[in-house]
Structures are given as structure tokens and as C-alpha cells.
Amino acid sequence: MDLMTNLMPAAAEIFLLVMVCVILIADLMIRQSGRLVTYMLVQLTLLGCSVITVGTHENGVVHAFNNMFVDDLMSDVLKLLTYLAVSMMLVYSRQYLTVRGLFSGEYMVLALFAMLGMMVMISANHFLTLYLGLELLSLSLYAMVALQRDSAVATEAAMKYFILGALASGLLLYGMSMLYGATGSLELGAVASAIQSGEADKNLLVFGLVFVVSGLAFKLGVVPFHMWVPDVYHGAPTAMTMLIGSAPKLAAFAFVVRILVEGLQPLVQHWSGMLVILAIASMGLGNITAIAQTNLKRMLAYSTIAHMGFMLLGLISGGVEGYGTSMFYAVVYVLMSLGAFGMIMLLSREGFEADTLDDFKGLNQRSPWLAFLMLLLMFSMAGVPPTVGFYAKFSVLNAVVGAGHIWLAVVAVLFSLIGAFYYLRIVKLMYFDAPESHTPIKVDSDAALLMSVNGFAVLLLGLLPNQLMSVCAVAVQQSLLLP
């Protein structure tokens, strides 16, 4: 195969890696006061990646590097959304990190390395490529959580994340080695063919599958592999928490779909049963435990666990509708998560973190506009119409009922009703309680504008969800070659 045919599908990744090296060297020449130059370079890099991803898109599924890398519509859509999420994260976090002395070149380079890991995960078509992307993302995130070196809480969170992450990577590798032993291949398509033909050792396959699903469950943060989520969300600086809670969820969705749907589809009877248990446990524990939290970041951590459980329901449903709604749910969750963590950073100031529920008391009296945007985000997370969160939950439930799992849909609705309590409690605190502080809220104009766009996107996509929904369905159908 000619060199350019191999390089073109991975052009965005190559460009990003080159730019990371350029930014790393350029940052050495810039004084601490001139970090804005590095910031603008990073944003231009993200724009360049977007242009290249759109420019190199081809119809159909294109394989490169001996079938280890795949470029298809699903990967292109998810990559574009990843660039957008990382760009929004940088805008929200600039002021927050500057006053804490954390707005450094290292932070931005690590964020770009993490994004490179996500892009590799999204386009992987081989167990080795998947693992390479996952480790690049994970190692960057471990370093980012520990970036605030003088914070004992952040260091502890990074240690927990690192140790549990290494354990999960071990589980995943062990499972992959078993699947390789059973099928004789590491390429996802060849693994699926070997299982389909019946040549593979069935017992070894199921053992390997259990380890792989356990590793995937850890990376998604679903019960019972959720132990790291609340501690990391709470301990890390909010900007790092925002990164962990947003864009990697898109990569994790792609990771799960590539392995389970593309590589292990013939074992669907086995893995869908495991996902049912993970989904119910996550929705139950996530929603119930979130009620007891007084720290907003911990509450959002448990809410993430519940949302990931909900996302798994789409994968359990199967078919274009099931996988499409699951992708739609992941995209919507990332949008809501960016807004919620962005609001914490907008209300924080030097020496003060606005991350407890009491910090939101009387927000309507201090800033009616920010209170309204937070109301939209909380309504969307709770699944209240006309926000997009309602439509996302409705479409997943519709897919579950369509697949014949009516009891599962009833369980999901019951847990969603429990979950609505802690989201609506924040709305009650903002509108009906007296403020504990009357300090004026100063917000950067670019972050305030982005927060307004973020809030209205949640409302507008709820009123007109069909375009995004159809993009997800078509991307899944064309990429996974589903009937």
C-alpha cells in the first residue's frame, strides 16, 4: 500500500503531534505573563485538526496501517465533537487556572496529548491501537490531576486514579491476550470472523470477554468499577475534572463500540447480559448516592456514573437505533457536563472554590442570567422537557422498549425519577434560598458568552433534536456496516 494512502486517514493525528512538539518548544521561549500566546496556538491547533478531519473525510470505511487504523463517518463525527469539547474546556478554565497559577504550557500540552489518545481510541481497529490510545489518554490525565503539586487532595486523587487505572489496564490487557489466544488475531474484524466461524475456543473467549468488559467498565466509571470517580472528580482542580468528565466519554463510547460491536458481536448474548447488570447497578447506586452529597463535584461524579449506566442501555438494545441513541446520549451528556463544570469555574474566584451546594444559594439574586443557564443545565440532566436531556433519555428508553426489554425501561425510569431530586434541589437553592455571600460575580466575557451558547444549545437541541440524532444514526450505520 502506498505511503500517502496510509498517512491521509491519520493526517489529523499527525498534525496534532507535530503541533504539540511546536507548542512545547514555543512555550519555553514565552515568559509566564505571555501564556495567552500558547493558549491561542492550542486553539488554532484544534481548528486545524477540525479542518483536516473534514478535508480528509471519505465516504465509506477506509483502513490504514495494515487494518490497525480506521477512518469512517463515526470516527470523524466523534473527533470533531472531541475538538469542540477540548476547546470549550480551555475557554472555561483560562481565568480559573490563571488565578491559581496553573495556566501553564504543561497543562495545555497534556490536554492535547490526552486528546491525541482519544483520537487514536476513536479510530482504532486493532487491540494494540486501542490500548495505545487508552494509555496515552490515561497517563496524560493522571499527570493533569496531580498538576497542583502543593494540594494534598489533588495528589491523593492522582495516586488513587493511577493505581486503579493500572489495575484496569491490566484486566483489559489480560482479557485481550485471552481473546488473541482463542482467535489468533488482534485485528477486530479478524477476531469477529474467527468467533463467527466457530474455530475459537468458547471457554477461553468467555473468560477473555469477562476481563475485557471489566476493563471497559472501569474506564467508563460504572458500578462496581466506579471507586475512583468521586475521589478524582472531587480532588482534581475543577478544570481537570471538566476534562475527565467530558471529551473522554466520547472516546470511551467509541472504545466500547469498537471492541464489543465490531470485534465481539458474535458474543452479543454474553456481553449484553453483563452490560444489563452494570447499567442497573450504575443507575441505582449513582442516583441514590448522589442525593447524600453536599459537594457539587462529588454529586456530579455520582450523576456521571448514573448517566454512563443509561448510555449502556442503548448498547444493550442493539441495532442502528440502539447504538445511534447511545452515541447521541454520550454527545448530549458531554455538552451538559461542560456546562455544569463551567458554571462551577465561573462562580469560583481566587482562594475560593464554588463547589458546594451552599455556594449556589440565592444565585438568582446575585446573577439572574447565570442562575437561568444553570437551571437549563440541571433540567436537562434531570431529563425535564423541553431540554435535550429529556429527548436523549426518551430516545434511549424507546430503543430499549423496541428491543423488548420493557422491564429494563421501567427500572431506568424509576431511577431517573430518584435522580431528578438532586438536580431540582440545586434549582430550589438558587431561586428560593437567601445567598450566603453577596460578593459580585466577575466573569470573563468569552467564558460568559460560551456559557450562554452552552445553555441555549441544551434548550435548542431539545426543541430540534432530529438533526443531531440522524447524524448519530447515519454515522453508526455507515461505520459499523449495520443493515
Do residues 249 and 329 touch, judged by C-beta distance below 8 A?
no
Do residues 15 and 53 touch, judged by C-beta distance below 8 A?
no
Q: Which residues contact 263 (CB under 8 A, 6 or more apart)?
A: 127, 179, 188, 189, 191, 192
Question: Range of 419's domain?
Answer: 3-479
Q: Cis (ω within 30 of 0) for the bond into 386?
A: yes
Using DSSP bridges, classify how beta strands 62-64 and 69-71 pair: parallel, antiparallel or unpaired. Answer: antiparallel
In a 10 Å sphere around its CB, with 0-12 CB exposed, 13-18 middle and 19+ buried, how is residue 434 labelled?
exposed
**pLDDT for the residue numbered 32:** 64
**pLDDT for the residue numbered 19:** 92
Nearest to 121 by CA among 139, 107, 135, 140: 135
Task: Tell me the helices (H) and strands (E) count for the chain, helix number first.
Answer: 21, 2
63 SS3 class: strand
**pLDDT for the residue numbered 151:** 81
What's the per-residue H, E or C state across 104-156? CHHHHHHHHHHHHHHHHHHHECEHHHHHHHHHHHHHHHHHHHCCCCCCHHHHH
pLDDT 10s digit of each residue in the chain, 483 long?
A: 567 777 888 888 999 999 999 988 888 887 766 678 888 889 999 999 999 999 888 877 888 888 888 888 889 999 999 999 999 999 988 888 888 878 888 888 999 999 999 999 999 889 999 999 999 999 999 998 888 888 888 888 889 889 988 988 999 999 999 999 888 888 888 888 888 887 777 888 888 999 999 988 988 888 888 888 898 998 888 889 999 988 899 999 999 998 888 888 888 888 888 899 999 999 999 999 999 888 888 999 999 999 999 999 988 887 788 889 999 999 999 999 999 999 888 888 766 777 788 888 888 888 888 889 999 999 999 888 888 999 999 999 999 998 888 999 999 999 999 888 999 999 998 888 887 777 777 777 788 898 899 988 999 988 888 898 998 888 888 887 665
The number of domains in the chain is 1
pTM of the model: 0.93
Do residues 373 and 360 touch, judged by C-beta distance below 8 A?
no
Nearest to 112 by CA among 148, 83, 77, 76: 83
